[in-house]
Amino acid sequence: MKCEKALSTLRNRQAGKADFRAAAKDISHMLIDDLQNRLQESSVDTEKLCFLIILRSGIALLPEAVEAFPHAPVGVAGVQRDETTYEPQWYYEKMPPLTSDSVVVILDPMLATGGSAETVISHVIEQGAKADHIHFVGVLAAQEGVERIESIIPKENIILADIDPELDGNKFIVPGLGDFGDRYFGFDDTHS
């Protein structure tokens, strides 16, 4: 299966930037196809759809998303976790206006503790969106993170390629795939 091959490449810590990016594109395509199918089955009005990327790694999922939904506006949430407290910290925000009719799709490849996603989801609800109209699309999650956001948005609105069982002492997904953003943007990898 293509998804398993792409996920295997992403998990391979020796994979170079080119292979990692190609696998990220393949898996993004599959995730967005799944999103399209689910929205269609639920008769969701995709004209009300907008994407919200959580920086920085959410950028990797964006090309496939806007190709599938070229009319959709894109918002940006700059949220990163403090590596000491593990709590999410906002540093930037630019979102389209949201209403109770908005269908918001949050893009973030990794869902570890779920803190950043929960923060963004709560903010989107405060801006006017309904929890039932919020979707999360990601590559890999820890069970803890999935349970955290399932307490806010419907389980069927969460699309993931895989779920790993736990987090380590530093709140990283185990076995995981390393830092998705660093690997995608080439910060910790000397392979080509």
Determine the 3-state secondary structure of 139 from DSSP: strand
Q: What is the pLDDT of residue 188?
A: 65
Q: What is the spatial distance between Cα 68 and Cα 139, in angstroms, rounded to a whole number?
A: 17
Percent of the chain with pLDDT over 90: 82
Task: Provide the pLDDT confidence category of residue 139 given band limits of 50, 70 and 90.
Answer: very high
Residue 179 designated active-site: yes
For domain 2-185, which architecture applies?
Answer: 3-Layer(aba) Sandwich (3.40)
pLDDT digits (tens, 9 = 90+) for 123-136: 999 999 999 999 99
Q: Which residues are CB-contacts of 80 (< 8 A; sequence separation ≥ 6)?
A: 55, 88, 89, 91, 116
Please tell me which residue in 82, 132, 168, 182 is annotated as part of the active site: 182
Contact (CB, 8 A) for 60 and 28? yes
Q: Are strands 103-107 and 88-94 parallel, antiparallel or unpaired?
A: unpaired
Domain layout of the chain by residue ranges: 2-185
Residue 132 designated active-site: no
Residue 162 pairs in a beta bridge with: 140
Q: What is the pLDDT of residue 82?
A: 80
Q: What is the pLDDT of residue 190?
A: 43
**pLDDT for residue 189 is more than 70:** no
Please tell me which residue in 81, 99, 108, 132 is annotated as part of the active site: 81
pTM for the model:
0.93
Task: Provide the pLDDT confidence category of residue 154 given band limits of 50, 70 and 90.
Answer: very high
